[in-house]
Amino acid sequence: MKPAPFEYHRPTTVAEAADLLADHGDAELLAGNQSLGIVMSNRLATPDHLVDLNTVEGLDFVTEREEGVAVGAMTRHRTIERSDLLAERLPILPEAAEQIAGPSVRNRGTLGGSVGEADPAGNYPAALTALDATLELVSADGEREVPVSEYFIAYMFTDLREDEIIRAAEITTDPFPPERTGMAFVELKPTAQTWPTVSAATAIRVDDPDAADPVVEEARLALANAADVPLRVEAAEDAVEGEPLSEASLDEAANAATAAADPEDEMHADREFKEEVAGEYARRSLNRSYERAQT
């Protein structure tokens, strides 16, 4: 099927794009077109206006800021996968990016499209939740910042207003000094180049990376596709903090992840299986982060 007719707009600035959204109530933003095209071709979305962000300047960047690192909304998965700055400061993002689908999707798909789509199985939604990121949103009325923890509200439903554009995600790097931090993004996939059954995004900061059994000072865990939103599991974080990582603390964290998970049945993975995978992949990801935090 072909998309329903629409009027196509090619703004060159964020302000122009925001004005177009303000002027046209039934408008949709176009980013990498890896999801929207399918939705529109099946006529599950029939916007009257399409506002193309591909010609808008200033949305494709990975940059250092005083507080940390910012990634622009039109930054492609491929760029995130290959960014030296992210590899050094926030390696969870390149690791999340490299596991998204195949090269054709990664060459076109964007961070803003993934966060805008807000699929709870999405890699960035989980990684940004683990990193406690903040989203910069722009509209014709002005700008606001929304913590990711408040952005994802329900299944593919967010705090983003219809007249707003995601400009960037900002991540504070203070809690994660690279020399004492390990991060990991691990996922179970039924087949290559498809969406994950469940993924686990983790970060661990230790007190002394040279110690034989360093103490976990801070841990973060977020799961993808384990609930109707990206799921931060603070009980699992608490279970591993304040002591060296051990089989006992990993068991407790895995149990907490399984208990927190509230997944939907899928064709190839029922609810019970996904709860189990949530626990097991939380364990694997925390363990890998801990190993990576050690020199």
Which positions lie near ligand FAD, rule CB under 6 A? 28-36, 53, 73, 100-101, 105, 109-110, 112-114, 116-117, 122-123, 160, 165-166, 194-196
The C-alpha atoms of residue 202 and residue 206 are separated, in whole angstroms, by 13
Closer residue to ligand FAD in complex, CB, 114/287: 114
CB of 275 vs ligand FAD, minimal distance in Å:
20
Closest approach, Cβ 75 to ligand FAD, in A, equals: 10
Least distance to ligand FAD, CB of residue 137, Å: 8
Give the pair of three-digit tokens for residue 184.
Answer: 């990991």
Q: Which is nearer to ligand FAD, 222 or 293 (CB)?
A: 222
Report, in Å, the least distance between residue 205 CB and ligand FAD.
25
Q: Which is nearer to ligand FAD, 184 or 240 (CB)?
A: 184
Burial zone of 26 (CB within 10 Å; 0-12 exposed, 13-18 middle, 19+ buried) = exposed
Q: Which of 34, 287 has the CB closer to ligand FAD?
A: 34
Nearer of residues 32 and 94 to ligand FAD, judged by Cβ:
32
| Shortest distance in whole angstroms from residue 108 CB to ligand FAD | 6
- How many residues are given for the chain? 295
> Least distance to ligand FAD from the beta carbon of 216, Å?
27
CA 51 – CA 139 distance, rounded (Å) = 13
Strand order in the sheet with 142-147: 62-64, 68-72, 165-172, 134-139, 142-147
**Angle, CA 233 vertex, CA 231 and CA 236 arms, to 5°:** 155
Query: Based on CB atoms, which residue is closest to ligand FAD, 109 or 182?
Result: 109
Question: How many contiguous H segments (helices) and E segments (strands) does the chain have?
Answer: 12, 14
Q: Which residues of 154-192 are buried (b: 16+ CB within 10 A; e: fewer)?
A: eeeebbbeebbbbbbbbbebeebeeebbbbbbbbbeeee
